[in-house]
């Protein structure tokens, strides 16, 4: 069995704030702020609070098996990582754009451990009243968090989604158990972590005919659970070929969902299994158009799974209909499909639908085409969430002989016939600054492919080999996206380089719908806001400057109309936090 020896710090640093204001306000431009405000105030993967866990993965007996949290922020702030039930607590002060690491043991980060020859445990809620089995990571200022399983001979990771961006509806992507379930067990896994008490979960098992959970739930059947704050519902598949893909989760309050497979054979039936994992996107953030890009050097295309959010969804590949999905998630061929992006040689493709869908790419193992690479799963980014500028990082490698080269697939808009436009640029971070270069001028731009016309706009994608580890930026005049990945003879990883959940219905992610009226913004002499204090009385109100300093604080909330004197504050950007209910960027300008 070939296993994925990831063993790396897999960190993709995405754009937190692209708009900075000087302390004196000399560079402040109200027109620029108003134009950027919707983007700045949108929901994304930067936040002040995360709840997460790690699914069980193949551990090497006596080996170096570690679970890693990697955090980065634009601000100086103190990050706390806590697993109350497993006696883990660490606090670290992080500096702007400095990667900070937290290390947990398998006991501290997973609900349980299992060997390859052991069957998984039955479906269970881990944690009772007051027992927080989930990992709680939080700070006063927004930061990015990655969770990485970094075991001796296996590993993968995911970009964590903050509580403010979580949703109440999910349709899961996973991979089938390819083991014999006699001498080895490679189950599909789903972990549901609740940030709130009294959270009612309605779980409906999808998959393929014959799929069942270890607890006996069969395809099409539903079960209800009540999760407390920090509780984890961990579900494992039972039986050869069982696949959790298409399972649907509805919750009364937002939850975090982590899915994957203990050791996935991709495609089915070939050798070379690897642990795969992903934190699921809320269904509220799905789009209608996705662009698939092949992995460099592969002789065959990756597999993709496409999921429908609504019944009667028509699926298209390159404008040709390939399926109609009858249900919202559920069983294969009715609520989701699995296929190679194309059976011909690797090439880019457009997957679209007349209703919201989710598209997940699965990189194949070595035995698929004898190219040294291992399986990984990667959520694709809908075109509705492309951005003008993104920031990302290559893995911070512990071994010199691993991932000597990393790659980035960049999807961008250009005029028809102009493959490498001047406005698409990439920058590496060196000596505290970014050095920009046009991708058309780079000798390490390996290939360019035509995507085609989408909504009367023409798109291309280029693969760039990154010659060294580090932090990079990509920008263009028109919205773009990118996928970061790398591999060696036994390793493979892949992630979207940026995510901006701009379409969330409830951007605050609070357990109650809280109507907060904030004005004026920008503010001059005062900042006022009011809210329904009966819905949920906040523990505190704080206003932070861009360095993380508290400039206003109120821990005795007795009125629902608050007025903050900002006349003595310097012009600039600030963050208003109302307990755990509300986080909003505000601007002071005199």
What tens digit of pLDDT does each residue of 513-559 get? 445 677 887 888 888 887 665 555 677 888 887 666 789 988 877 77
Domains of the chain: 45-496 (no CATH), 516-588 (2.60.40.3080)
Q: Between the CA of residue 60 and those of 64, 132, 259, 396, 491, what are the distances in Å?
A: 7, 27, 22, 22, 16
Residues 6+ apart with CB under 8 A from 99: 9, 11, 13, 70, 71, 72, 393, 396
Per-residue pLDDT tens over the stretch 477-490: 999 999 988 776 55
Given a contact cutoff of 8 angstroms between Cβ atoms, the answer to whether 486 and 372 are in contact is no
Q: Which residues of the chain have pLDDT under 70?
A: 1-44, 394-404, 488-492, 501-516, 531-537, 546-548, 580-583
CA neighbours within 13 Å on the CB side: how many for 259? 25
Q: Give me the pLDDT at residue 403, please.
A: 55
Dihedral angle, C-alpha 145, 149, 155, 157, nearest 10 ° = -20
Structure tokens at 278: 């992903």
Q: Give me the pLDDT at residue 16, please.
A: 30
Residue-wise burial string across 4-18, b where 16 or more C-beta atoms lie within 10 A, e elsewhere: bbbbbbbbbbbbbbb
Q: Give me the pLDDT at residue 508, please.
A: 37
Q: Give me the pLDDT at residue 44, please.
A: 60
């Amino acid at each position: 069995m070939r296993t994925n020896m990831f063993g790396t710090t897999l960190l993709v640093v995405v754009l937190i704030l692209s708009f900075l204001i000087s302390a004196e306000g000399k560079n402040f431009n109200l027109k620029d702020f108003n134009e950027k405000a919707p983007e700045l105030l949108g929901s994304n993967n930067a936040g002040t609070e995360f709840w997460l866990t790690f699914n069980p993965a193949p551990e090497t007996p006596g080996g170096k098996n570690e679970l890693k949290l990697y955090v980065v922020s634009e601000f100086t702030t103190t990050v706390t990582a806590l697993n109350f039930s497993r006696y883990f607590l660490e606090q670290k002060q992080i500096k702007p754009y400095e990667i900070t690491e937290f290390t947990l043991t398998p006991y501290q980060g997973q609900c349980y451990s299992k060997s390859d020859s052991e069957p998984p445990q039955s479906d269970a809620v881990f944690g009772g009243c007051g027992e927080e089995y989930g990992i709680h990571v939080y700070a006063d200022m927004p930061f990015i968090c990655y969770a990485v399983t970094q075991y001796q001979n296996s590993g993968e990771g995911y970009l964590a989604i903050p509580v403010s961006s979580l949703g109440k509806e999910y349709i899961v992507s996973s991979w089938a158990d390819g083991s014999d379930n006699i001498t080895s067990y490679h189950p599909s896994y789903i972990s549901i972590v609740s940030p709130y008490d009294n959270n009612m979960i309605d779980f409906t098992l999808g998959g393929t005919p014959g799929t069942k959970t270890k607890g006996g739930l069969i395809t099409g059947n539903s079960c209800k659970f009540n999760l407390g704050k920090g509780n984890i519902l961990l579900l494992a598949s039972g039986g050869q070929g069982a696949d959790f893909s298409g399972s649907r989760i509805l919750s009364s309050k937002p939850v975090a969902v982590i899915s994957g497979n203990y050791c996935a054979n991709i495609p089915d039936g070939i050798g070379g299994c690897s642990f795969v994992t992903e934190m699921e996107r809320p269904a509220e953030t799905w789009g209608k158009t996705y662009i698939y890009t092949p992995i460099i050097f592969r002789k065959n295309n990756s597999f993709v799974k496409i999921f429908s959010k609504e019944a009667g969804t028509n699926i298209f590949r390159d404008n040709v209909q390939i399926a109609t999905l009858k249900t919202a998630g559920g069983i294969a061929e009715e609520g989701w499909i699995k296929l190679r992006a194309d059976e011909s040689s690797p090439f880019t493709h457009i997957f679209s639908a007349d209703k919201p869908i989710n598209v997940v790419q699965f990189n194949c193992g070595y035995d698929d085409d004898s190219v040294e690479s291992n399986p990984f799963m990667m959520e694709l980014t809908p075109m509705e969430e492309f951005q003008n500028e993104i920031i990302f990082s290559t893995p911070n490698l512990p071994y010199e002989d691993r991932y000597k080269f990393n790659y980035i697939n960049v999807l961008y808009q250009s005029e028809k016939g102009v493959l490498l436009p001047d406005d698409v640029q990439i920058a590496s971070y060196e000596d505290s600054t970014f050095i920009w270069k046009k991708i058309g001028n780079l000798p390490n731009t390996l290939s360019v492919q035509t995507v085609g016309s989408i909504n009367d706009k023409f798109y291309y994608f280029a693969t760039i080999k990154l010659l060294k580890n580090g932090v990079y930026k990509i920008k263009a005049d028109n919205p773009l996206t990118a996928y970061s990945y790398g591999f060696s003879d036994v390793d493979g990883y892949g992630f979207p380089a940026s995510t901006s959940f701009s379409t969330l219905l409830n951007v605050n992610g609070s357990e109650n719908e809280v109507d907060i009226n904030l004005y004026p913004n920008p503010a001059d002499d005062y900042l006022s806001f009011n809210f329904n204090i009966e819905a949920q009385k906040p523990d505190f109100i704080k206003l932070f400057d861009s360095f993380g300093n508290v400039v206003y604080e109120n821990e005795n909330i007795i009125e629902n109309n608050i007025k903050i004197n900002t006349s003595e504050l310097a012009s600039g950007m600030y963050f208003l936090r109302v307990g755990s209910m509300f986080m909003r960027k505000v601007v002071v300008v005199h």
